């Protein structure tokens, strides 16, 4: 089954630990994050989170997903999808250490019978939304 991906990244001039601490402090996301404005739930593998998103095109939505990977200072990801299982999405934040600074990779993969349809319908808006969050995270991290 094919996988479709929206991927963005940004260089951040600080240590991965600082970026991680900002990401892990989900209670404060609304102060700096215009895309994922609110995320509730424990940042722990197996936990269900609830997210409120504001897309670059002005649309808003909310969803529940299950955290599947937590690697402190390296990776946070969650999985979700529609009830019928036609589309499964995996939202991924990765922090790659680079010479005392880091690269933040923000991506989402789609699988399932209707993954291509979901990808084509959402890739531009997701990419623009991810870039906005990436820039805000960079600004917050480099303070």
> Can you name the CATH fold of 4-141?
Alpha-D-Glucose-1,6-Bisphosphate; Chain A, domain 4 (3.30.530)
Closest CA to 139 of 25, 37, 22, 8: 22
Q: What is the pLDDT of residue 18?
A: 97
- Average pLDDT of 13-20? 97
pLDDT over 90 (residue 44): yes
The ranges assigned to domains in the chain are: 4-141
- Average pLDDT of 77-106? 94
Closest CA to 50 of 37, 39, 34: 39
pLDDT over 90 (residue 82): no
- Average pLDDT of 8-24? 97
- Average pLDDT of 56-77? 97
Structure tokens at 43: 């940042």
- Per-residue confidence at 30, pLDDT binned at 50, 70, 90? very high
- Per-residue confidence at 83, pLDDT binned at 50, 70, 90? confident
Q: What is the pLDDT of residue 12?
A: 98
**Residue 34: helix, strand or coil by DSSP?**
coil
Strand (E) or helix (H) holding 32? helix 29-32
Of the two residues 20 and 82, the one the predictor is more confident about is: 20
- What pLDDT digit, counting tens, does each position of 111-136 carry? 999 999 999 999 999 999 999 999 99
């Amino acid at each position: 089954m094919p996988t479709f991906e929206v991927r963005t990244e940004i260089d951040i001039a600080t240590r991965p630990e600082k970026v991680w601490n900002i990401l892990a402090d989900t209670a404060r996301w609304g102060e700096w994050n215009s895309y994922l404005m609110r995320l509730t739930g424990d940042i722990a593998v197996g936990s269900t989170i609830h997210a409120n998103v504001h897309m670059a095109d002005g649309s808003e939505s909310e969803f529940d997903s299950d955290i599947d990977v937590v690697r402190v200072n390296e990776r946070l990801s969650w999985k979700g999808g529609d009830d019928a299982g036609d589309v499964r999405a995996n939202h991924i934040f990765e922090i790659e250490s680079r010479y005392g600074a880091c690269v933040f990779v923000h991506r989402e993969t789609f699988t399932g019978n209707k993954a291509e349809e979901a990808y084509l319908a959402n890739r531009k808006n997701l990419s623009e939304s991810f870039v906005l969050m990436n820039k805000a995270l960079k600004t917050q991290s480099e303070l």
